[in-house]
Amino acid sequence: MSGVRKPLRIGVLASGTGTNLQALLDTVQGEEALVVGVATDRPDAVALDRAKAAGVETAVFPLAEFSDRGARDTAIAQWLAERDVQLVVLAGYMALLTSPFLQRFPGAVVNVHPSLLPAFPGVRAIEQALAYGVKVFGVTVHFVEDDGGVDTGPVLLQRAVELPGADDPVEVHEQLRPIEHALLPEAVRLVARGAVSRDPHNPRRVVIAG
Ligand code: GRF
């Protein structure tokens, strides 16, 4: 029996510039993982250009074309399922996912967020952190579950950075970007290697083997 794993099939959802998508395409693509589709809610997302340049299939799901968010999410989930996606990566996807989507991919959706959760969930996380006056910033990669919350799923990876003099959200984001671009591929690698499980005594605690 061969010990070689097949690459993990990944679907990425992105709404914006797609630098996190690019980080995946530049690192794990064709190695541990295969980004097989990139979907967006925004026809103007630069992430689409990055996907096309890498030869990855794309699809656009504007809310206006569906009766409601649930119908849109069902269509996205179907599109990903048709491509045998095993892990969905939210890389700057700005719409909240509804139950029809999350129940289709239980335990198989991850998100990258620019704060040390549970501090500063939701939009404008860096602005929230600056307004609070924190000295330590960071990035979280977490699972997304059908729990009704925003950025509330179990933490997979976190990394902090001390920025005691920070006062500008753009500068903080510049400091956090390289961390995001390292942490998200690392999370994908760990899932692809089968190194990620849950503590049976505390399912919120994500256990990483090795
Ligand atoms: C990142 O900062 C990510 O943490 C947040 O949205 C941003 C997306 O950036 N969820 P990009 O589109 O990957 O460049």
Residue closest by Cα to atom 9 of ligand 1: 92
pLDDT of 119 > 80? The answer is: yes
Strands ordered across the beta sheet of 8-13 = 58-60, 33-40, 8-13, 87-90, 109-113, 136-143, 155-162
Residue closest by Cα to atom 1 of ligand 1: 92
Evaluate the omega torsion of the peptide bond into residue 118 and state whether it is cis, within 30 degrees of 0: yes
Mean pLDDT of 145-171: 97
Task: Give pLDDT, residue 4.
Answer: 75
Task: Give pLDDT, residue 63.
Answer: 97
Q: What share of the chain is helix, strand, coil (3-state, %, to 5)?
A: 35, 25, 40
Question: For residue 26, what are the CA distances in angstroms to 22, 23, 53?
Answer: 6, 5, 12
How far apart are the CA of 20 and the centre of ligand 1, in A?
Answer: 6
Alpha-carbon gap, residue 190 to 157, rounded angstroms: 10
Task: Give pLDDT, residue 46.
Answer: 98
In eight-state DSSP terms, residue 138 is: E
Taking only the tens place, the pLDDT of each residue in 29-85 is: 998 999 999 999 999 999 999 999 999 999 999 999 999 999 999 999 999 999 999
Task: Give pLDDT, residue 5.
Answer: 83
Which residues have any ligand 1 atom within 6 Å of their CB?
14, 16-20, 91-92, 112-114, 180
Task: Give pLDDT, residue 1.
Answer: 45
Which residues are within 8 A (CB) of 97 and not within 5 positions of it... i.e. 6 or more apart? 73, 90, 109, 144
| Surface-to-core class of residue 94, CB atoms within 10 Å of its CB (0-12 exposed, 13-18 middle, 19+ buried) | middle
Mean pLDDT of 85-89: 98
Pairing of strands 33-40, 8-13: parallel
Task: Give pLDDT, residue 125.
Answer: 98
Taking only the tens place, the pLDDT of each residue in 159-210 is: 999 999 999 999 999 999 999 999 999 999 999 999 999 999 999 999 999 8
Structure-model confidence comparison of residues 54 and 1, the more confident one = 54
Task: Give pLDDT, residue 3.
Answer: 64
Q: Of all helices (H) and strands (E), which one includes residue 147?
A: none
Taking only the tens place, the pLDDT of each residue in 4-29 is: 789 999 999 999 999 999 999 999 99
How far apart are the CA of 93 and the centre of ligand 1, in A?
Answer: 8
Mean pLDDT of 144-169: 97
Query: What residues are annotated to the active site?
Result: 113
